[in-house]
């Protein structure tokens, strides 16, 4: 089965017949972008998402033969839980991406012990300013409700999270549907990346994406598509 590719004004749709082929293709695209950044400025910064979807992609990317010692990996968002928690995105990245050749990468987590989520966000925001911005690559996921990063439709201060002119790097998120407080990159930092990919799998996610880009109330993923200065590359498999 040939890869399906559709184009919209704000995204390119890349469909694959199965998830291993998607993982290999996305890993190749991301590795190429990281290698290009290393060649151009001596370092590359990659922000990835958590959840169950990216494990195969992480495994494929971890074996890519690039100069991983010049790559900084961080997270798009994180639950306010330690890395030992099964719900930790940092734990997922350590187990699946920071392996093989990618063990040489520098990992910058978002979670650390703090008196509360607001203090953690402020500390992260200050610490992450030392990274060589902008991000070279961002890989997003999406929930059935149309959220991406931790931009939940019911989040407090959603407009602040989605402000394309925000000067913040990290903000705290409180949303009943999130399950626990979260830390997230702001929309402004995501859309400034050189390459933005959205990785989704399953018919339910395709239906959710189609609904998000259709006319009607704007879901958070649509806010990213609308604000990004270049088309987002959507990678999907059944």
Q: What is the model's pLDDT at position 84?
A: 87
The CA-CA-CA angle for residues 118, 93, 230, to 5°, reads: 75
Contact partners, residue 27, CB within 8 Å, separation at least 6:
57, 60, 61, 64
Distances 22 to 3, 137, 228 between C-alpha atoms, Å: 10, 17, 23
Contact assessment for residue 149 and residue 74, using Cβ atoms and an 8 Å cutoff: no
2 is a domain residue:
no
**What is the overall mean pLDDT for the chain?**
94
Question: Does residue 3 have a pLDDT over 60?
Answer: no
Q: Write down the pLDDT at residue 9.
A: 78
| Mean pLDDT confidence for 166-194 | 96
> Which residues, 6+ apart, have CB-to-CB distance to 106 below 8 Å?
71, 72, 73
Residue 114 pLDDT: 84
Give the pair of three-digit tokens for residue 83. 């890395």
Provide, rounded to the nearest whole percent, the portion of the chain with pLDDT above 90. 88
Residue 5 pLDDT exceeds 60: no
Is 7 within the bounds of a domain? no
Once rounded to an integer, what is the mean pLDDT over residues 21-28? 98
Assess if residue 9 is contained within a domain. no
Tell me if 8 is assigned to some domain: no
The CATH number of residue 83's host domain is 3.40.50.1360
| 1-5 contacts at long range (C-beta below 8 A, 24 or more positions apart) | none
Q: In what order do the strands lie in the sheet with 4-7?
A: 4-7, 11-15, 232-237, 195-201, 137-140, 44-48, 71-75, 106-108
Chain-centroid distance of CA 64 in Å reads 19
- Tokens coding 192: 């400034």
Report yes or no on 174 lying in a domain.
yes
Question: How many whole angstroms separate alpha carbon 85 and alpha carbon 120?
Answer: 17
Q: What is the pLDDT of residues 127-142, one digit of tens each?
A: 899 999 999 999 999 9
CB-count exposure of residue 36 (10 Å: 0-12, 13-18, 19+): middle
Structural domain including 211 reads: 14-237
What's residue 43's pLDDT?
98
Cβ(138)–Cβ(47) below 8 Å: yes
- Chain segment 69-106, per-residue pLDDT in tens: 999 999 999 999 988 899 999 999 999 999 999 999 99
Nearest CA-CA partner of 214 in 206, 111, 36:
206
| Per-residue pLDDT, 26 | 98
Q: Chain-centre distance of CA 236, in angstroms?
A: 15
> Is the pLDDT reported for residue 2 higher than 70?
no
Q: Is residue 142 part of a domain?
A: yes
**Predicted pLDDT of residue 83:** 85
Among 83-87, 146-150, 224-228, where is mean pLDDT lowest?
83-87
- Percent above pLDDT 70 for the chain: 97
| Number of domains composing the chain | 1
Please give the pLDDT value at position 7: 58
What are the start-end ranges of the H helices in 131-202? Answer: 158-161, 187-191
Nearest to 92 by CA among 139, 131, 146: 139
160 within domain boundaries:
yes
Q: What are 168's two structure tokens?
A: 């913040």
Whether residue 1 is contained in a domain is answered as: no
């Amino acid at each position: 089965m040939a890869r399906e590719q559709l184009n919209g004004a704000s995204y390119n749709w890349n469909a694959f017949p199965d998830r291993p082929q998607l993982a290999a293709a996305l890993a190749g695209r991301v590795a190429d972008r990281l290698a290009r950044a290393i060649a151009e400025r001596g370092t590359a910064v990659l922000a990835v998402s958590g959840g169950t979807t990216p494990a195969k992609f992480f495994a494929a990317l971890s074996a890519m033969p690039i100069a991983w010692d010049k790559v900084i990996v961080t997270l798009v968002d994180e639950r306010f839980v330690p890395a030992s928690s099964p719900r930790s995105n940092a734990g997922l990245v350590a187990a699946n991406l920071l392996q093989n050749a990618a063990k040489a990468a520098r990992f910058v987590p978002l979670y650390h012990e703090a008196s509360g989520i607001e203090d953690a966000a402020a500390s992260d925001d200050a610490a992450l300013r030392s990274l060589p911005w902008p991000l070279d690559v961002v890989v997003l996921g999406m929930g059935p409700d149309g959220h991406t990063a931790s931009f939940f439709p019911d989040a407090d201060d959603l407009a602040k999270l989605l402000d394309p002119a925000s000067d913040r790097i990290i903000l705290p998120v409180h949303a009943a549907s999130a399950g626990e407080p979260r830390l997230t990159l702001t929309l402004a930092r995501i859309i400034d990346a050189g390459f933005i990919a959205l990785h989704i799998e399953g018919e339910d996610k395709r239906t959710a994406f189609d609904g998000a880009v259709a006319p009607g109330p704007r879901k958070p993923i649509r806010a990213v598509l609308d604000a990004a200065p270049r088309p987002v590359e959507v990678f999907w498999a059944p």
